[in-house]
Structure 1
Amino acid sequence: MAEMGGDPHRLTAEQRATYDKLTVASDPLTLDTLKKVVLGSLWFSPLHSLRELGQYFAGMKFSAQLTPALAAFDDRADGTRFELPFFVFQGDRDVITPAGRARAFFDEVEAPAKEFALIEDASHFASFRHPDRFLHLMLTRVRPVLAEAVRA
């Protein structure tokens, strides 16, 4: 990253794609989660077929086409004030979206309700790595906010 410049918003699309691939490949937790949990669930689940595994890879290849637009994406361009609840639940060891950057953005957000939580021992795929913890956050932090909104 140092050779490419410290600010990820200044990376070219090709640099960002390379950075993301190298980061995922060099982080044991992210790579393990991707291989065992994401791909493993497609490979071994009776609910999925080999064709769907192929569709996963086709989707990843298609997503790479979006990289030029994502490279220029400014998460603050549309402002940081939202009229709806705002939640960030992510892995404490996320190397793609580091917790510090996510927290900094979260702190700038103004919303009627907002919650931030880190899922321990998880990386970029936190909801897949620890679905029980993610579900707990959804039930204890999101559900009450939505239930209150429905009552109002």
Structure 2
Amino acid sequence: MAAPETFATLQDLETRYPAELITLAADESTGLRDDARIEAVLRDVTVEARAILLARYSRADLDRLDDEARDVLRVYAIAMALYRVALSFSRSSERLKEGYDNAVKALQGIAAGKGKLGLIGDSSAAEPLPPGSDGANNGNVLVESAERQFTRERLRGM
């Protein structure tokens, strides 16, 4: 079975972080960027992200992500890859570690149902309308929130 496509590519890293990539991924002996190690990290990051998402999505689902979902995963994969590349070359930093941790937490949140990835052919991607709603909001933003805790009536007795 062929390996799944990576969520981020070397080109994605080059486009977004060209200077950091050169600094983080320079071979210890030659000083040249080690693209083979970067590609290995990108594969590892994809495996890690897929493992987290398998708590909610099937392998088949992850193979039919829509473009928007792939864009979201690309952002997380890039953050994870930068940290892992830096770690691979013993050039890690707190900022990169924080980016990695935030990406993993976001993926765990998606896996826990706090977000959703769009899938090609998924008709449930759109949120259902509330009962009794016709979908029209006349240009107003609708917000649901908890009841106000501090009202004039409640504050009078204080």
Q: Same fold (TM over 0.5)?
A: no
Q: Report the structure, 1 or 2, having the larger helix content.
A: 1
**TM norm structure 1:** 0.26
